[in-house]
Amino acid sequence: MIVCKFGGTSVADGAAIARAAAIVAGKRDRQPVVVVSALGGATNDLLDVAQRAANGNLLVALSIVESLRQRHLTTTATLLDGSPERDDVEAEVSAGLDELAHLAEALSTLGFVTPRSLDSVAAIGELLSSRIVAAAFRHRGLDAEWVDARDVTITDDNFTRAAPDLPRIAAATRERLRPIVQAGRVPVVGGFVGATPSHITTTLGRGGSDYSASLLGAALEAEAIEIWTDVDGMLTADPRLIPTARLIDRIRFDEAAELAAFGAKVLHPSTIAPAVQRGIPVYVFNSRRPEGTGTMITFDAPRYPVRALAGKRDKTLVKLRSARMLLAHGFLGAVFAVFDRHRTSIDVVTTSEVSVSVTLDDASNLEAIVADLSAFGDVSVEQHRGLVAIVGAGLSDGAQTMAQALGALGDIKVHMASLSATGLNFTLVLDDAQVNPALQRLHATFFPEPA
């Protein structure tokens, strides 16, 4: 059994979904389970509908609903031309968009959105795309069956970034997915979307379809998890920033996890953990070039000092200075408890005798965090910081690679530097505006163009 996940651009329109059908048809004998994202860009549009409706722009919101309706209906018509199912699928698509319009009206009356209502809106993207894809696969001779993601991806109720309930997911996949596969059929499930045990719709967070694929793959003890996207695999840097970035043929789980956590959008940061637990290899392939060799992510890829670079922008740096920290035990624990209490995760930490500096992934609870930290000492906040991560299993075999990295940065100011305890991620905190130039310099140093 394998899991094949198709991202937004890989199901963006009729032609893309037809390519996905051909890819899955070629893997029929490996018992594929298919996970799909919303049509490319649809999630952004859906969230826009919710925000605009709540902000009093109902007419604009409803016009976006209509453009989403047209787009989904055009895709359906292209794919299901001549299919006896076409009318039914069109009716389902329209019903989904009618529901969206009702939600928009409700939000405009309320005048605000809640995380729970955002999830109900955002989930519509994957619920529709998965239905369209299942019918399109059937029309192309694949025995596909749509499965409601809310029946299998069971989560807690931390709306907009819900955490999976692994035992329930295991039980649900045994009950809902395995029998379909065993009958020689192909289940098609929406990624990103889940539900609480009491059937309230949730989502796993932006980009979460990769995570759905690895959760279901782990629950099914799949042989492989395939992430089909719009680039040839994992590359040595984001190709949008570094056009000369190179394809990585094999990379280790821990390296891929660091890259994902530090901004390599090609994988959702949580994708690797479920695969590691079961030792399931993860592959990244290009759905536009299915003949490509892609990237294989496993335990035992060759060690390099630097395997790839990643970067993140728009981070907040919080510094705490306190003489009480000197020789005191329990101090750091109390400080980190503050971040835990405000459900805020930290990217990078450095400490000295009398100070702690951390960068926050998400600063939405900053005010409350600063208020709580002030009880320990002087707090300062620096906005517009960025991170650059230099990742390689052999990075800290000697000091040379880190020296080379700092040398490559030249006059770019480094606010903070941290070598992960695993020794495979050297992270630098810079000004936001310096992230791209830094990545360019580092890439030219560690991945020079052949002369």
Return residues touching ligand ADP (CB under 6 A). Answer: 7-10, 37, 207, 229-231, 234-235, 237-240, 259, 264-266, 308
Angle at 57 between CA 56 and CA 58, to 5 degrees: 95
Nearest to 347 by CA among 440, 444, 428: 428
Chosen residue from 191, 263, 311, 386 binding ligand ASP by CB under 6 A: 191
Among 37, 76, 173, 196, binds ligand ASP (CB under 6 A): 37
Cβ distance to Mg ion smaller for residue 54 or 234:
234
CB of 11 to ligand ADP, least distance (A): 9
**Residue 217 in the binding site for ligand ASP (CB under 6 A):** no
Residue 329 contact, options ligand ADP, ligand ASP, Mg ion, none, Cβ 5-8 Å cut-off depending on partner type: none
| Contact partner at residue 206 from ligand ADP, ligand ASP, Mg ion, none, CB < 5 to 8 Å by partner kind | ligand ASP
Please spell the DSSP secondary structure of 339-406, one letter per residue. Answer: HHHTT--EEEEEE-SSEEEEEES--TTHHHHHHHHTTTSEEEEEEEEEEEEEE-TTTTSSSHHHHHHH
- E-state strands within 213-365: 224-229, 250-252, 282-286, 295-298, 308-321, 346-351, 355-360
Nearest distance from residue 6's CB to ligand ADP, in Å?
A: 7
Strands 425-431 and 378-391: antiparallel
Burial (0-12, 13-18, 19+ Cβ within 10 Å), 163: middle
CA 298 to each of CA 65, 208, 420: distance values in angstroms, whole numbers, following the listed order: 42, 21, 20
Nearer to ligand ASP, 207 or 392 (CB): 207
Q: Are 162 and 150 in contact (CB under 8 A)?
A: no
Q: How far is the CB of 206 from ligand ASP (least distance, A)?
A: 4
* 191 lies in the binding site for Mg ion (CB under 5 A): no
Binding to Mg ion by residue 207, rule CB under 5 A? yes
Which one of the spans 21-29, 36-44, 243-251, 319-327 is the region binding ligand ASP (CB under 6 A)? 36-44
- Which 107-166 positions form the footprint of ligand ASP (CB under 6 A)? 125
Burial of 205 (0-12, 13-18, 19+ CB in 10 A): middle
CB 338 → ligand ADP: shortest distance, Å? 31
Residue 172 binds: one of ligand ASP, ligand ADP, Mg ion, none (C-beta under 5 to 8 A by kind): none
Piece in contact with ligand ASP (CB under 6 A), picked from 95-103, 136-144, 200-208, 425-433: 200-208
Q: Which residue is nearest to ligand ADP (CB)?
A: 7
C-beta separation of 230 from 290 below 8 A: no
Residue 195 and residue 70: Cα distance in Å, rounded? 28
Q: Which residues of the shown chain bind ligand ASP in the complex (CB under 6 A)?
A: 7-8, 37-38, 43, 125, 191-192, 206-209
